[in-house]
Amino acid sequence: MLTSVSLETNTGSIVCTSLQDVEKQRTGEMVRLHVKHGDESQFLFDTTVSISVEELTKQVTSIYNGRLKVSRICSEMEELSEHGITLPPNMQGLTDEQIEELKLKDEWETKCTPSGGSVFKKDELGRRNGHAPDENMKKVLQKTMEEARALIAKKQAEANVCVTMDMVKDALDQLRGAVMIVYPMGLPPHDPIRMEFENNEDLSGTQAGQAVIEEANTQLWWAGKELLRKQKLVDYVGKNEKTKIIVKIQKRGNGAPAREPVISEEEQKKMMMYYHRRQEELKKLEEDEDISYMNADWADSSSLKRQFQGVNDIKWRPR
């Protein structure tokens, strides 16, 4: 008996629980979730009404946290391309004089050299050793970062493109490959980029760590209701597969998120512009006090009298 099927699509793969779900995915009859965090759009996600909220929460949370991981790695790779590898923790933040006085040495400096040589650019924050990759290798890192960011960007939602976990993994693989090209000997074990790739990152006490939502503490909300994990999605949205809903993801204990406005911000701007333009038109009409119709022939009270007297077309001019 079939329990689950992984179906490959042009945007990645989706786990379907039955042959019926496979057929729905092929024909495009899927429930589309517009996932938001607060008021900020995150990504689109396709699923079926038959999925359990438990499984849906796991999938949505994995993509949400995976996108955050890609963003963190890209931020660190920017620093890597500018200032080289990370210094050992006991050397970070120290001045050159302090390092010399304490007789500290970075043993990874010679082990982890970039391909094609390095260009020295001192890190004013004292986190990295300053031996940055040359211009060609720097471009490799930058181009890969742009492609990875575009793959999981929030603009994908505007383009009506769904984000899958396969797309997140693809972005991570691209970043990992670029780092291996530039640093074939690898990065130091204490470098944040390597720790992210190995899932050993320590985000405690950081702003980035607060953004991560653990799967066990994740809540999904729709239409002011929490989607309870023991239920199925069909219990909330009905049996119509061709449905699009806005789902908000947040940490447990934060209360119900604010409900979506009746009209979008863009529609509100257009309405305000229309009412402003209409007010200006009415104001102009009041100021003009248009009485030009008084010059029309049909508004001349003496027109009939002049016509009987035969002086209707007489024009007066000075001699």
pLDDT of residue 272: 85
pLDDT of residue 4: 44
Cα 68 from Cα 209, distance rounded (Å): 10
Classify burial at 63, counting beta carbons within 10 Å of its beta carbon; exposed 0-12, middle 13-18, buried 19 or more: buried
pLDDT of residue 11: 39
Instruction: Give the domain ranges of the chain.
Output: 5-251
pTM over 0.85: no
Per-residue model confidence as pLDDT tens digits over 236-263: 999 888 889 999 999 988 878 877 666 6
Distance from chain centroid for Cα 91: 36
- Residues of the chain predicted below pLDDT 50: 1-28
Distance from chain centroid for Cα 54: 24
pLDDT of residue 100: 85
